[in-house]
Amino acid sequence: MTLEQGIFYLFAAILVFAAFRVITARNPVHSAMFLVLCFVTSAGIWLLAEAEFLAITLVLVYAGAVMVLFLFVVMMLDINLAHLREGFARYLPVGAGVAVVMVAEMMMVVGAHYFDGVHSPAPLRHGADYSNTRELGSILYTDYFYPFEIASVILLIAIIAAIALTLRRRPGTRHQDPSKQVAVKRADRVRMVSMEAEKKS
């Protein structure tokens, strides 16, 4: 076993353990921190595959921005942990069954028959002047141009739908109208009341 293979197996073991702890940790903050560990170890595996741009993007975008947002939301919400743990035993058989099916499917798809040295040879090593970012951009805008554009349109539709759902009119909610706030005058907000002074007896 080479040093690179040893590092890969070490990162893979840490990744599997962290992913398992994400779904089994009882504290949501601990789950979020284990998810950060998943992102970092995945970035290390991508570095071994010479995907430096994807690795750095995973660390900066997900571990550095998205997970910080998740932690803020988790810490700001008053989550009742006892209520969350109530249905764990009830849904455990269903969850275990789904997990077994997913593992079986992954073993059938990512098996040694399809990913051995003959069907999937080791990637070629590139020199120091190789640019992973340039290669990724070239593939995205040539071979995968239409799927890339379709994915961008789907994301744009999702953003518009989220904004539309947020701004929809619902009974019982209060809305602000900036035009009315700007047009308001002092007489509409302040009423002067003249009262005689009272003395304490």
By mean pLDDT, which of 2-11, 81-90, 141-150, 156-165 is the weakest? Answer: 81-90
Mean pLDDT to the nearest integer, 53-66: 86
Q: For residues 103 and 19, give the distance between their C-alpha atoms in angstroms, rounded to a whole number.
A: 14
Q: What is the pLDDT of residue 149?
A: 92
Q: If pLDDT is split at 50, 70 and 90, which confidence band does 78 have?
A: low
Q: Is the pLDDT of residue 184 over 70?
A: yes
Half-sphere exposure (Cβ direction) of 106: Cα atoms closer than 13 Å:
6
| pLDDT above 90 for 153 | yes
The answer on pLDDT for 160 being more than 80 is yes
Reported confidence tier of residue 167, pLDDT bands at 50, 70, 90: confident
Q: Could you tell me which residue, 92 or 20, shows the higher pLDDT?
A: 20
- pLDDT of 42 > 70? The answer is yes
For residues 37-67, one letter each, b for 16 or more C-beta atoms within 10 angstroms of the residue's C-beta and e for the rest, the string is bbbbbbbbbbeeebbbbbbeebbeebbeeeb
135, 50 Cβ separation under 8 angstroms:
no
182, pLDDT greater than 70: yes
Q: In whole angstroms, how far apart are CA 111 and each of 8, 114, 195? A: 18, 6, 87
Query: According to the model, what pLDDT value does residue 81 have?
Result: 63
Q: Is the pLDDT of residue 154 over 90?
A: yes
Name the pLDDT band for 82 (thresholds 50, 70, 90).
low
Q: What is the pLDDT of residue 197?
A: 79
Residue located via tokens 């602000």: 176
CB atoms within 10 A of CB 135: 14
With beta carbons less than 8 A apart as the criterion, state whether 32 and 70 touch: yes
Burial class (CB in 10 A: 0-12, 13-18, 19+), 14: middle
CA 134, CA 23: separation in Å to the nearest integer? 37
Q: Are 46 and 54 in contact (CB under 8 A)?
A: yes
**For residue 70, how many other CB atoms are within 10 A of its CB?**
17
DSSP string, 140-184: HTTTTHHHHHHHHHHHHHHHHHHHHHHSS--TT-----HHHHHH-
